[in-house]
């Protein structure tokens, strides 16, 4: 595909996403319907769509329209490219610019340059204080790819060597012993033997640091109360913990047995009746706005409404209250979100402690792109 044909595909996909379709589903649908597109084309269209969603407001201002054509026009103007070389109308290229499009567009305002809905920018600005501008700027860029060395199968050094043999370069990080940042060859990762044989798992630096802060060891009994795909279960089991996994939507744990087998760890499913008994550590990696990970799922930041946020905070409070009953006396409840909003983090913890006097706060940490990678919150609550 020519650059212009890729731009035309991105315009069509962006228009569907702006009508409310999830970005991932739209990209998959387009790829299935576009057999002529090779893997390089699919990757380029995907990058263009995601980069544009991260910067939707500022690109809409530059392009003079909050629609596929306006956004791609804004992307070209942002890059200093000549739009008339892409909007040619020839072959599979987008139709030529109308006079109004050619004359439209303007520099984004400071609020538009934050590339967030105003109500979220206000909340994050209040919650993050002087860090807000730099965090908002970081959320406008692509996230790095991080791996977790699976200590049950490899050391960071042996994992790096195995990856390098397959053309994937990864650097260690002084902040976390298991973390490796991929610096080259990331598109080869999922088909690599190092990944398929469980030497490494895809996991961002911040949740790795959160799991390390839980200080589990061989024999620690853990209930992962919101196990989902099992990212936290696998990380804790690799440290030797005896993990029981539960999720209110069991289908979300579908891949967990295969992932655990690949990683060489044992994870017990709680079963349909739900978890029983008490544990040294109960992890509640609750559903959240995902505001800390919006550079990976940038369509989500434009979809979130104040009502959605209010609903998800109610769900969080219900989950943590139920999970607390499974913490043994002297044990720990770990409350986690991948959000940067105080309403889902500090305020949620304060509400829990007010309703559960048998718990006290040991430690609360917020990781941001300024201190780690994705935005992530952990509170350790002692019973
Ligand atoms: C942030 S995701 C978990 C991600 C997962 N821990 C991981 O590391 O891959 C939140 C999970 O909470 C689950 N969930 C939602 N409501 C729940 C409830 N009432 N009780 C337990 N889990 C719930 C969702 O199904 C979802 O899988």
Q: What integer pLDDT is reported at residue 151 of this predicted model?
A: 92
**Single pTM value for the model:** 0.96
d(CA 53, CA 16): 12
Residue 373: CB partners within 8 Å, gap ≥ 6?
A: 143, 144, 146, 204, 205, 206, 367
Q: How far is the CA of 288 from the centre of ligand 1 (A)?
A: 9
Which residues are identified as catalytic?
338
Tell me what the pLDDT averaged over the chain comes to: 97
Q: Whose CA is nearest to atom 27 of ligand 1?
A: 228
169-173 sheet: strands from edge to edge: 169-173, 176-184, 146-149, 200-202
Counting from 1 in the atom list of ligand 1, the atom nearest the Cα of 253 is 27
CA angle, residues 373, 76, 35, in degrees to nearest 5 = 80
DSSP bridge pairs for 336: 285, 378
CB atoms within 10 A of CB 346: 16
Q: Whose CA is nearest to atom 6 of ligand 1?
A: 227
Q: What integer pLDDT is reported at residue 319 of this predicted model?
A: 98
Q: What integer pLDDT is reported at residue 34 of this predicted model?
A: 94
Counting from 1 in the atom list of ligand 1, the atom nearest the Cα of 283 is 6
Which 8-state DSSP code applies to residue 178?
A: E
**Tens digits of residue pLDDT in 72-131:** 999 999 999 999 999 999 999 999 999 999 999 999 999 999 999 999 999 999 999 999
CATH topology of domain 212-382: Rossmann fold (3.40.50)
Q: What integer pLDDT is reported at residue 197 of this predicted model?
A: 95
**Is there an atom of ligand 1 within 6 Å of 148 CB?**
no
Contact 337, 152 (CB under 8 A): no
Q: Whose CA is nearest to atom 10 of ligand 1?
A: 287
Q: Whose CA is nearest to atom 17 of ligand 1?
A: 248
Tell me the CA end-to-end span of the chain in Å, nearest whole number. Answer: 59
Mutate which of 210, 243, 247 for ligand 1 pocket (most atoms within 8 A of beta carbon): 247
d(CA 55, CA 78): 10
CATH topology of domain 146-203: Alpha-Beta Plaits (3.30.70)
**Structural domain spans, the chain:** 3-113, 146-203, 212-382
**Is there an atom of ligand 1 within 6 Å of 232 CB?**
yes
Arithmetic mean of pLDDT, 16-31: 95
**Tens digits of residue pLDDT in 312-367:** 999 999 999 999 999 999 999 999 999 999 999 999 999 999 999 999 999 999 99
DSSP letter for each residue of 296-327: TSHHHHHH--HHHHHHHHHHHHHHHHHHHTTE
Does ipTM surpass 0.90 in this model? yes
pLDDT of 271 higher than 90: no
d(CA 121, CA 296): 18
Q: How far is the CA of 228 from the centre of ligand 1 (A)?
A: 5
Q: What integer pLDDT is reported at residue 272 of this predicted model?
A: 83
**Tens digits of residue pLDDT in 174-203:** 999 999 999 999 999 999 999 999 999 999
**pLDDT band at residue 266 under the 50/70/90 scheme:** very high
Angle between helix 231-238 and 256-263 (nearest 10):
30
Mutate which of 228, 290, 376 for ligand 1 pocket (most atoms within 8 A of beta carbon): 228
d(CA 332, CA 380): 6
Please give the structure tokens belonging to residue 17. Answer: 């996403």
Q: What integer pLDDT is reported at residue 253 of this predicted model?
A: 96
Q: How far is the CA of 154 from the centre of ligand 1 (A)?
A: 28
Counting from 1 in the atom list of ligand 1, the atom nearest the Cα of 287 is 10
**pLDDT band at residue 164 under the 50/70/90 scheme:** very high
d(CA 88, CA 269): 57
> Has 280 been labeled as part of a binding site?
no
Please give the structure tokens belonging to residue 336. Answer: 């986690």
Q: Whose CA is nearest to atom 3 of ligand 1?
A: 228
């Amino acid at each position: 595909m020519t650059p212009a044909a890729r731009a035309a595909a991105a315009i069509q996909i962006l228009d569907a996403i702006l009508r409310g379709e999830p970005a991932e589903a739209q990209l998959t649908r387009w790829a299935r319907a576009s057999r002529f597109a090779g893997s390089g084309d699919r990757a380029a269209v995907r990058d263009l769509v995601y980069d544009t969603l991260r910067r939707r407001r500022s690109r809409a201002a530059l392009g003079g329209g909050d629609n596929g054509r306006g956004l791609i026009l804004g992307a070209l103007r942002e890059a200093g490219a000549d739009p008339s070389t892409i909007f040619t109308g020839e072959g599979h290229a987008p139709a030529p610019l109308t006079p109004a499009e050619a004359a439209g567009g303007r520099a984004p305002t400071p609020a538009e340059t934050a590339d967030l809905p105003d109500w979220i920018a206000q909340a994050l600005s209040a919650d993050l204080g002087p860090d807000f501008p730099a965090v908002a700027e970081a959320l406008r860029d692509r996230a790095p790819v991080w791996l977790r060395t699976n200590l049950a199968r490899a050391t960071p050094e042996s994992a790096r060597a195995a990856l390098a043999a397959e053309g994937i370069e990864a650097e260690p990080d002084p902040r976390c012993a298991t973390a490796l940042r991929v610096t080259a060859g990331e598109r080869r990762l999922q088909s690599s033997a190092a990944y398929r044989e469980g030497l490494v798992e895809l996991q961002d630096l911040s949740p790795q640091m959160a799991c390390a802060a839980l200080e589990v060891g061989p024999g620690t009994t853990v209930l992962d109360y919101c196990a989902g795909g099992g990212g936290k279960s696998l990380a804790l089991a690799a440290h030797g913990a005896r993990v029981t996994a539960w999720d209110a939507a069991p289908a979300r744990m579908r891949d967990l047995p295969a992932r655990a087998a690949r990683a060489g760890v044992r994870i017990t499913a709680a079963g349909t009746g739900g978890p029983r008994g008490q544990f040294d550590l109960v992890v509640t990696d609750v559903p959240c706005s995902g505001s800390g990970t919006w550079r990976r799922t940038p369509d989500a930041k434009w979809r979130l409404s104040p009502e959605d946020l209010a609903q998800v905070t109610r769900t969080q409070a219900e989950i943590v209250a139920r999970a607390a009953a499974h913490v043994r006396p002297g044990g720990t409840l770990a409350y986690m979100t991948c959000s940067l909003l105080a309403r889902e983090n500090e305020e949620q913890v304060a509400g829990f402690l007010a309703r559960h006097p048998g718990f006290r706060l040991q430690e609360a940490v917020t990781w941001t792109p300024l201190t780690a990678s994705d935005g992530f919150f952990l509170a350790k609550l002692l019973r």
